[in-house]
Amino acid sequence: MSQTLSDSGVYMGAQMNSSWDLVPPEEMYEACRVMARYVEYRGGLDWDFSRLHTMPIDPEFTRLVKSYLASVLSSDSVHKGWKLPETTLVYPWIVRMFPEARFIHWVRDPRDCILGAHVTDDLADFGVPYEKTDDLRFRRAISWKYQREIVKATPPPAHTAVVRFEDFVLKQDEALAALTRVTAAIEPVSEDAIQRALEVCRADRVRQQDEKMAWHVRSAKVGDSRSKLTDAHLTIFREEHGDLIRQLGYDVR
């Protein structure tokens, strides 16, 4: 997604890794820990985010975010932004800091999400309290639940698009239409620019960039979880996360 935006003319920061995340990320990670201090944990899978929407934003958080985004904020590019998955952990305060930003929510079937490793696999690394479990996939499911709940609890910004990974793989025209509805408010993106970006970002081409991307992008498949998750994992998603899964447009199974 980040590479598609970059190849469509959006400035995505001075330094990016092979996943097209704005790096180094440490200051944003620390900002996550700062904001987590103000989240009330109620036990189980229940967190109260209400303070985040009305309290003054911690000055340390603002300093860290602005430092992390220095290259983006100082750019004179008409189109500019950044990608870092962990930004979701501080979504309420990012929305308050940048109310006119255009937010793109890149989502995927959570049952497929928990098959792979993520920086947020252990929420405790970012100061978020939760009931620990030794089952790695259960930990990933808890992390997914937390991140969906924090987005759901945040008053929606003025400009938002939700793009599903599955649609970007299987229904690119529909996915791009969702994107252009957000970006067109700034300046229309030409069809030629979109097609060039898609060509550059084909899964087979991205996998050839280096060994890490060959592993990271894998085969751009959807539905891997059907053959890889246990009944115990699927039961958790049905019983604990069913409503959230339906809200994203996925079937509960």
Please, is 38 exposed, middle or buried when counting C-beta atoms within 10 Å of its C-beta (0-12, 13-18, 19+)? middle
Q: What pLDDT is attached to residue 192?
A: 74
Instruction: Record the tokens describing residue 156, joined without a space.
Output: 């929606």
User: In this structure, are residues 176 and 194 in contact, taking their beta carbons and an 8 Å threshold?
Assistant: yes
Q: What is the DSSP letter of 122?
A: S
Q: What pLDDT is attached to residue 86?
A: 98
Residue 6 lies in a domain: yes
Instruction: Record the tokens describing residue 16, joined without a space.
Output: 């990016």
Q: What pLDDT is attached to residue 115?
A: 94
**Complete DSSP assignment for 153-213:** HSPPPSEEEEEEHHHHHH-HHHHHHHHHHHHTTTSPPPHHHHHHHHHHT-HHHHHTS-HHH
Give the residue-averaged pLDDT of 3-29: 90
Identify the three-state secondary structure at position 14: coil
Give the residue-averaged pLDDT of 24-50: 98
80-125: per-residue pLDDT in tens?
A: 999 999 999 999 999 999 999 999 999 999 999 999 999 999 999 9
Q: What pLDDT is attached to residue 169?
A: 78
Q: What pLDDT is attached to residue 212?
A: 57
Q: What pLDDT is attached to residue 200?
A: 62
User: In this structure, are residues 146 and 88 in contact, taking their beta carbons and an 8 Å threshold?
Assistant: no
Residue 231 lies in a domain: no
Structural domain for 167, as ranges: 2-108+129-134+158-218
Residue 122 lies in a domain: no
**In the structure, what pLDDT confidence band is assigned to residue 25 with cuts at 50, 70 and 90?**
very high
Pick from 28-32, 132-136, 174-178, 188-192: least confident: 188-192
Cα separation, 249 vs 109, whole angstroms? 9
Instruction: Record the tokens describing residue 132, joined without a space.
Output: 């620990």
Residue 115 lies in a domain: no
Residue 228 lies in a domain: no
**In the structure, what pLDDT confidence band is assigned to residue 194 with cuts at 50, 70 and 90?**
low
Residue 177 lies in a domain: yes
Q: What is the DSSP letter of 39?
A: P
Q: What pLDDT is attached to residue 213?
A: 55
Residue 141 lies in a domain: no
80 pairs with which residues across the strands?
A: 11
Q: Which of these, 32, 12, 15, lies nearest to 24 by C-alpha position?
A: 15
136-169: per-residue pLDDT in tens?
A: 999 999 999 999 999 999 999 999 888 888 887 7
Query: What is the domain count for the chain?
Result: 1
User: In this structure, are residues 118 and 85 in contact, taking their beta carbons and an 8 Å threshold?
Assistant: yes
Pick from 17-26, 75-84, 133-142, 166-175: least confident: 166-175
Q: What pLDDT is attached to residue 210?
A: 65
Average pLDDT, the chain: 88
| CA-to-CA dists, residue 170 to 73, 162, 175, 214, 222, angstroms | 34, 15, 9, 20, 9
Position with higher pLDDT, 18 vs 247:
247
Give the residue-averaged pLDDT of 180-194: 61
- Whether residue 26 has pLDDT greater than 90: yes
Give the residue-averaged pLDDT of 238-249: 93
User: In this structure, are residues 55 and 39 in contact, taking their beta carbons and an 8 Å threshold?
Assistant: no
Specify the pTM: 0.86
Q: How many CA atoms lie within 13 A of 98 on its CB side?
A: 18
Q: Which of these, 18, 51, 17, lies nearest to 36 by C-alpha position?
A: 51
- Whether residue 201 has pLDDT greater than 80: no
Q: How do strand 102-107 and strand 159-164 relate by DSSP bridges?
A: parallel
Residue 204 lies in a domain: yes
Q: What pLDDT is attached to residue 197?
A: 59
Q: What pLDDT is attached to residue 222?
A: 77
